[in-house]
Each structure stands twice: as C-alpha cells, then as structure tokens.
Structure 1
Amino acid sequence: MIMRIMGEGQFEVADEHLNRLNQLDDELLAALDSGNETVFRSTLDNLLGAIREVATPVAADYLGPSDSILPQDGATIEEVRELLRAEGDGLIPGIPE
C-alpha cells in the first residue's frame, strides 16, 4: 500500500503492518472526537512515526497514486478533520482481502 504524508512524500507499507497502523488510526479518531489538543498531537505523532518506522520511501520520480493521504507534522485538529471528510472512515484503509 502506498501512503502519502503531506509535505513529505510517499511510502510503501507492507500489508503485515496495516493492523497496527489501523489501531493508531482509530486512536487518532478518538483523539479528534475528544478535542484534546495534547492527546491529538501525541496520537498523530505516533501514527506518522509508525509509518516512517515500517515503510520504505517511494522513489521521488514515482508518479503513481497514493492509497492513503495523511496529514503533515504539525497539522491542526481542523486540518485533519477536513482530510477525514475527504477520505471517509479513518485515514488508513482496511486490510485488502
């Protein structure tokens, strides 16, 4: 799966990591619902950090689409809410069948 972190680039994530990333995505959704800026910031940092940890950067000249678009570091709660409106349920799609 190809994930784009806005302002940073695309990353290829193996399916074996999607369960963990989906759990972090769920935690981010809960933090958004709570409106707590501190919890939101921590969960966003955890999600983006986990992607960077398990993913392989995609070559800069690759022009293919991303399966998922994630906010950049420092994104506000409102920016992430807007991104979620465009993406649907969460930022990270479920595991492919």
Structure 2
Amino acid sequence: MIVRIMGEGQVRLSDSHLAELDRLDDELLAEMENGDGPGFRRTLSALLAKVREVGEPVPDDSLEPSELILPAPDATLEEVRALLSDDGLIPG
C-alpha cells in the first residue's frame, strides 16, 4: 500500500502493519469526537511516526498513486475532520 503524508511524500507499507495503524486511527477518531485537542495532537504524531518507522520511502521521482492520504503533522483538528470518512483516516 502506498501512503502519502501531506507535505512529506510517500511511503510503501506492508498490509501487516494496518492493524496497528487502524488502532491509532480509532484513538484519533475518538479524540476528535470528544474535542480532545492534546490527545488528538499526541495520537496524530504517533500515527505519522509509526507510518514513517515501518514504511519504506518511495523515491521522489516515482509517480505512484496513493491509496491512503494522511494529514500533515501540523494539521488542525478541523482540517483532519474534513479528511475523515466514516471509518476514520484508515479505512477498515
């Protein structure tokens, strides 16, 4: 799966990491619904850090379609709300 972090580029993720990322996504969704700004910021940072940690960077000169787009690290709660589907940022 190719994932784009807005403003940073793309990484290739193995499907084996999706369960852990989905757990963080669920936490993020709950924090957004509760208006927990500090929790939202902490969990968004953890989600992006995990994607960077387990993902393999896609070369900048490669034109791969992104299957998933994640917000930039400095995205606001409101900006992330606009990106959400019913399943959160990560479908499933």
TM-score band (shorter)? over 0.9
User: Which residue is 1:52 aligned to?
Assistant: 52
Amino acid paired to 1:16: S
Q: Please report the TM-score for the alignment, with normalisation by the length of structure 1.
A: 0.90
Q: Number of paired residues?
A: 92
User: Which residue is 1:76 aligned to?
Assistant: 76
Amino acid paired to 1:92: I
Alpha-carbon separation, structure 2, partners of 1:64 and 1:57:
12
Residue of structure 1 aligned with 2:88, choices 59, 83, 90: 90
Give unpaired runs (5+ residues) of structure 2: none
Amino acid paired to 2:50: A
1:7 match: secondary structure: coil
Alpha-carbon separation, structure 2, partners of 1:47 and 1:91:
10
Identity of aligned residues (%): 58
Q: Please report the TM-score for the alignment, with normalisation by the length of structure 2.
A: 0.94
1:21 match: secondary structure: helix
Alpha-carbon separation, structure 2, partners of 1:91 and 1:61:
26
Alpha-carbon separation, structure 2, partners of 1:65 and 1:51:
17
Q: RMSD in angstroms over aligned alpha carbons? A: 1.0
Which ranges of 4 or more aligned residues in structure 1 deviate by more than 3 Å?
none
